[in-house]
Amino acid sequence: MDSLSLENHAPLLRVEKLSVSFGRLLAVHDLGFQIQSGEIFGLIGPNGAGKTTVFNAITGTVPLSEGKIRFAETDIAGLTTHQITARGVVRAYQAATIFPQISVVEHVMTGLHCRTSTSVWGAFLHTPFTRKEEVQSQKKVKELLEISNLADFREQPASSLTWAQQKRLMLATALATNPKLILLDEPVAGMNASEIQEMIELIATVRKKGVTVFIIEHNMKVMMKVCDRILVMNYGQKLSEGIPEEVARDPKVIEAYLGYKHN
């Protein structure tokens, strides 16, 4: 990877001295890392290491105890989640978190909310602007359904899809918000081999569209394959960081995962 040349640019996301505590529990402690524009960045660590808390902190769903989060050179800590989404950071949730009763096409359309502006009056009067925006939205949704391989299920309720399809639907909906950075929380959890392959291809397509990807995932094979760089966390702190091969050889990482004792 040409990560060396990327380092000359300002990072897309810069997390500095991040700490998040719940009462006396320090979920994340003094964590710092940077994600460059265009890369696929992975975050791994044993259960309870604080990975999801990092996502929560970036998307504004938990308050920071300390530290800074800068996205595209602006401070996003303290903004509400929907404001952060509007700036271009979106998250696809871990479990297949979806709008169950909404049809697939409307589901993806909901993701366009922050990039469209039809008001209540516009909707009521069905103004030319509303009609134009609706046509553009339909076009955009069609494209997203095609890349996520869901075009055949347009009118079905989201809950009728399979687990893997629901996760792809969620990814397509997140992409509809037109993000610069997308956070994927365990995108291949609970999938079979062919579904995993399909998701890996989808993530590659996402990157080709110029979206930077930040992944939490337990499946190491997948992480080794898709990530440019990986950050390893344990007990809320950074344990290791680097290209996948380096991280995999790091004795500290092996110890954290397999529980070898230090001599």
* 80 touches other proteins by CB under 8 A: yes
Q: Give 127's Cβ-side CA count (13 Å radius).
A: 10
* 26 touches other proteins by CB under 8 A: no
Q: How far is the CB of 83 from other proteins (least distance, A)?
A: 8
From candidates 30, 106, 250, 255, binder to other proteins by CB under 8 A: 106
- CB neighbours of residue 205 within 10 Å: 13
- CB neighbours of residue 195 within 10 Å: 17
Q: Which residues contact 192 (CB under 8 A, 6 or more apart)?
A: 164
From candidates 4, 74, 124, 194, binder to other proteins by CB under 8 A: 124
Q: How far is CA 103 from the centre of its chain?
A: 23
From candidates 66, 134, 143, 195, binder to other proteins by CB under 8 A: 134
Q: How far is the CB of 153 from other proteins (least distance, A)?
A: 16
- Region from 32-40, 142-150, 173-181, 187-195 binding other proteins, contact rule CB under 8 A: 173-181
Total of chain residues touching other proteins, rule CB under 8 A: 40
Place of tokens 């800590």: 77
DSSP letter for each residue of 160-199 = GS-HHHHHHHHHHHHHHT--SEEEEESTTTT--HHHHHHH
* 250 touches other proteins by CB under 8 A: no
Residues lying near other proteins in the complex (CB under 8 A) are found at 59, 61, 80-82, 85-86, 90-91, 93, 97-102, 106, 109-114, 116-120, 122-126, 130, 133-134, 173-174, 176-177
